[in-house]
C-alpha cells in the first residue's frame, strides 16, 4: 500500500508540473502572437495606402509578409514630393524583425519625407537621415535606395545605403541591374556621404526597386534572383506597373526565404514634362 501511494503522489506531482509548463508555454505563445499582431498592425499602418501621382510616372507596389507569422519584418517603400517639384521614390529594409523593427521603419520613412522637403538631392537626404536616426538611439539600422526624378528634364538621381541594386528596363527589351556605388546602411556610422549617380530617362521603361527577400534565399543566390527580375523587366514591354510588380514579387516564392519582401515598380514615359 505504501509503495502504491508513493507512486501515485509522484505521478500527480509530475502531472501538475507538466500542467504548469503547458500553461507557461501557452502564455508565451499568446504573448508572441500579440506582439506579432501589434508589429503587423504597425507595419500596415506605416506603409502608404496609395502612391502619389507625378507627371510622366506610374507606380505600383507589392508587399509579401514573412512566412513566419511571428517574424514581423521592416521592409518599406514610399513615394513623396521633394523640394522644387522633384519626385522622391524610396525602398528600404530594416535590420531584424518584431515591433521594434516595424517602429524603426516608421521613423526611417518619416525622416526621409521630412528631409526631402528641404532638398531634392537624394544623397543629402540619406546623409541627413543617417545622422538623425543615429541620434534617436535605436541601435538598429536600415538599408535604403532613394531615387529623385525631375519631371521637367527626365533626370534621375540614384543613391543607395547598403541596399539591393535597382533593376531597369526599356520597352525595347533592354534590362540590367544598376551596380552603382553606394554607402553604408543608415543608422550605423555618423557623418557618412552617399554618392548620387545621375541618368537621363530618354526611353519608356521601368525602374524596379526591391528588397532582398525578393531575390535572395537558401535556394537562390542574389545574383540569380536579380537576373530573373531583370529578365521579367526586359520582357515587360509596356505592361502596366501593377502587373509587373505582381510578377516580380513571385520571384520570392523560388528563393526558399521566409523573410518579408517588397517591390516598387516605377513606369516612366521617357520624356520630359513642362511644368
For the question of whether the overall pTM of this predicted structure is more than 0.85, the answer is: no
Q: What is the CA radius of gyration of the chain?
A: 23
* Residues contacting residue 179 through CB under 8 Å, at least 6 positions apart: 165
In tens digits, the chain (275 residues) has pLDDT values of 445 555 566 777 766 776 777 767 766 666 566 555 555 555 566 678 889 999 999 999 999 887 555 556 689 999 999 998 899 999 999 988 777 888 888 899 999 999 999 999 999 999 999 999 999 998 999 999 999 999 989 999 999 999 999 999 999 999 999 998 999 999 999 999 999 999 999 999 999 999 999 999 888 899 999 999 999 999 998 999 999 999 999 999 888 877 889 999 999 998 776 55
Q: Write down the pLDDT at residue 228.
A: 96
Which residue's entry shows cell 501515485?
Answer: 8
CA distance linking residue 76 with residue 103, whole number of Å: 11
DSSP secondary structure, 134-189, as one string: HHTT----EEEEEEEEETTTTEEEEEEEBPPPPEEEETTS-EEE-----BPPBTSS
CA distance linking residue 263 with residue 241, whole number of Å: 11
Decide if 164 contacts 220 (C-beta within 8 A): no
Amino acid at each position: 500500500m505504501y509503495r502504491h501511494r508513493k507512486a501515485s503522489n509522484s505521478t500527480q506531482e509530475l502531472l501538475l508540473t507538466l500542467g504548469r509548463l503547458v500553461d507557461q508555454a501557452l502564455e508565451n505563445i499568446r504573448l508572441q502572437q500579440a506582439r506579432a499582431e501589434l508589429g503587423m498592425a504597425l507595419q500596415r499602418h506605416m506603409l502608404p495606402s496609395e502612391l502619389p501621382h507625378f507627371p510622366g510616372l506610374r507606380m505600383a507596389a507589392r508587399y509579401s509578409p514573412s512566412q513566419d507569422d511571428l517574424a514581423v519584418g521592416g521592409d518599406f517603400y514610399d513615394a513623396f514630393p521633394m523640394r522644387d517639384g522633384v519626385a522622391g521614390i524610396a525602398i528600404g529594409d530594416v535590420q531584424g524583425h518584431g515591433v521594434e523593427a516595424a517602429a524603426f521603419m516608421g521613423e526611417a520613412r518619416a525622416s526621409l519625407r521630412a528631409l526631402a522637403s528641404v532638398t531634392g538631392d537624394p544623397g543629402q537626404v540619406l546623409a541627413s537621415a543617417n545622422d538623425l536616426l543615429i541620434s534617436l538611439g535605436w541601435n538598429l539600422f536600415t538599408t535604403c535606395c532613394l531615387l529623385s526624378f525631375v519631371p521637367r528634364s527626365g533626370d534621375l538621381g540614384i543613391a543607395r545605403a547598403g541596399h539591393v541594386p535597382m533593376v531597369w528596363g526599356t520597352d525595347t527589351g533592354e534590362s540590367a541591374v544598376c551596380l552603382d556605388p553606394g554607402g553604408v546602411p543608415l543608422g550605423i556610422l555618423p557623418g557618412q556621404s552617399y554618392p548620387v549617380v545621375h541618368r537621363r530617362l530618354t526611353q519608356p521603361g521601368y525602374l524596379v526597386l526591391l528588397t532582398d527577400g525578393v531575390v535572395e534565399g537558401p535556394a537562390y543566390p542574389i545574383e540569380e534572383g536579380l537576373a530573373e527580375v531583370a529578365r521579367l523587366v526586359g520582357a515587360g514591354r509596356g505592361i502596366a506597373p501593377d502587373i509587373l510588380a505582381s510578377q516580380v514579387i513571385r520571384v520570392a516564392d523560388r528563393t526558399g526565404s521566409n523573410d518579408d519582401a517588397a517591390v516598387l515598380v516605377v513606369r516612366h514615359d521617357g520624356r520630359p514634362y513642362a511644368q
